[in-house]
Amino acid sequence: MAHDLLDRLRERLNDLNRSEFKVANVIMDDPVAATSLSIASLAQAAGVSEPTVNRFCRNFGAKGYPDFKIKLAQSLAGGTPYVTRAVEPGDSATQYTPKIFGATIAALKEAERQVDMAAIERMVDYLTQAKHIHFFGLGASGAVAQDAQHKFFRFNLPVMAYIDVLMQRMVAAACHTGDVIVIISYTGRTRELVDIAKLGRAAGAVVLGITAPHSPLANECTATLDVATPEDTDHYMPMTSRVIQLTLIDALATGVTLRRGEDFLPHLKKIKESLRETRFPLE
């Protein structure tokens, strides 16, 4: 159905070939603008041929590019910009609240289906062997980086989160072999973070990315955990993407905990018990 087009585009990102992914990326960068692009303009922006665009459109149930643009426009008409596509302008709290919960649950299930377990294991390998861990993120992903620091400091490792671009650049440049940088970015298209990934690798660090597949950032990372979630953060507030990032951080932290073994559990218990005196007792 037309109103499902944007969701289907995002859900199938990992299944697209490189040329199709380029077309999808241009469309999702600015779906509103895409509805007014000619097939020649879209092909040029994506760096593909016009027949490739037509094949892409037919793969998503359209008769051709004009029909695809109509379906795209209908899809965009189904939501309120800067909130989430599931919410309508006249929705009350009893309507939009379940929609937000439903969208988040659906996105988490889809992310679980797509997640590469081998990539999880590979990243846990790097994190377990790290001498220092640095988490980088900007905007909403910066909050995720700070949450990661909150979890990973428990592993008796020097761990820091940086959400300032200049600090990130300096830290990346000062890294050494054995250091691990984890860059969190939903789009993977932030120029500063791509440059920082290059700096970190040049300094000898392992650079891990929690980011979009085939993105410029992913191409600069030592290893990546791909996040192709059905959310357009160029036009809506980052809601489900942030929750998925947090969940992936939880999975990585759990993996590191299990690698440390049962002998490490008393250390975690000691940290937890240090908070006991800061809380009022339960009545």
Among the candidates 78, 105, 128, a domain finishes at 78
Query: Does any domain span residue 93?
Result: no
pTM strictly above 0.75:
no
Query: Does any domain span residue 6?
Result: yes
pLDDT tens digit string along 34-65?
888 999 999 999 999 999 999 999 999 899 99
Among the candidates 78, 103, 128, a domain finishes at 78
Q: Looking at the structure, do residues 256 and 121 belong to the same domain, yes or no?
A: yes
Query: Does any domain span residue 131?
Result: yes
Query: Does any domain span residue 185?
Result: yes
Task: Identify the CATH number of the domain in which residue 235 sits.
Answer: 3.40.50.10490
Q: Looking at the structure, do residues 35 and 120 belong to the same domain, yes or no?
A: no
Q: Looking at the structure, do residues 56 and 157 belong to the same domain, yes or no?
A: no
Query: Does any domain span residue 36?
Result: yes
Query: Does any domain span residue 91?
Result: no
Is the Cβ–Cβ distance between 144 and 183 less than 8 Å?
no
First-to-last C-alpha distance (Å) of the chain: 54
- The sheet that has 179-184: what strands, in order across it? 159-162, 132-137, 179-184, 206-211, 223-226
Query: Does any domain span residue 104?
Result: no
Alpha helices in the chain (DSSP H): 5-11, 18-29, 31-34, 39-46, 50-59, 65-76, 93-114, 117-129, 140-152, 165-173, 191-202, 216-220, 240-260, 265-273
Query: Does any domain span residue 95?
Result: no
Q: Looking at the structure, do residues 70 and 119 belong to the same domain, yes or no?
A: no
Q: Looking at the structure, do residues 123 and 236 belong to the same domain, yes or no?
A: yes
Domain that holds residue 62: 1-78
Q: Looking at the structure, do residues 133 and 228 belong to the same domain, yes or no?
A: yes
Q: Looking at the structure, do residues 73 and 122 belong to the same domain, yes or no?
A: no
How confident is the prediction for the chain on average, in pLDDT?
88
The tally of domains found in the chain comes to 2
Task: Identify the CATH number of the domain in which residue 54 sits.
Answer: 1.10.10.10
Q: Looking at the structure, do residues 55 and 137 belong to the same domain, yes or no?
A: no
Among the candidates 78, 100, 133, a domain finishes at 78
Looking at residue 12, what is its pLDDT? 82
pLDDT at 230 exceeding the cut of 70: no
115 SS3 class: coil
pLDDT above 90 covers a percentage of the chain that reads 57
Over residues 103-110, the mean pLDDT reads 78
> Per the structure block, which two tokens stand in for 118?
């081998």
Give me the amino acid identity at 249: I
Q: Looking at the structure, do residues 135 and 267 belong to the same domain, yes or no?
A: yes
Q: Looking at the structure, do residues 1 and 74 belong to the same domain, yes or no?
A: yes
Q: Please give the backbone phi and psi of residue 47, each rounded to the nearest 5 degrees, phi first.
A: 70, 35
Q: Looking at the structure, do residues 43 and 124 belong to the same domain, yes or no?
A: no
pLDDT at 5 exceeding the cut of 90: no
pLDDT at 80 exceeding the cut of 70: no
Q: Looking at the structure, do residues 183 and 238 belong to the same domain, yes or no?
A: yes
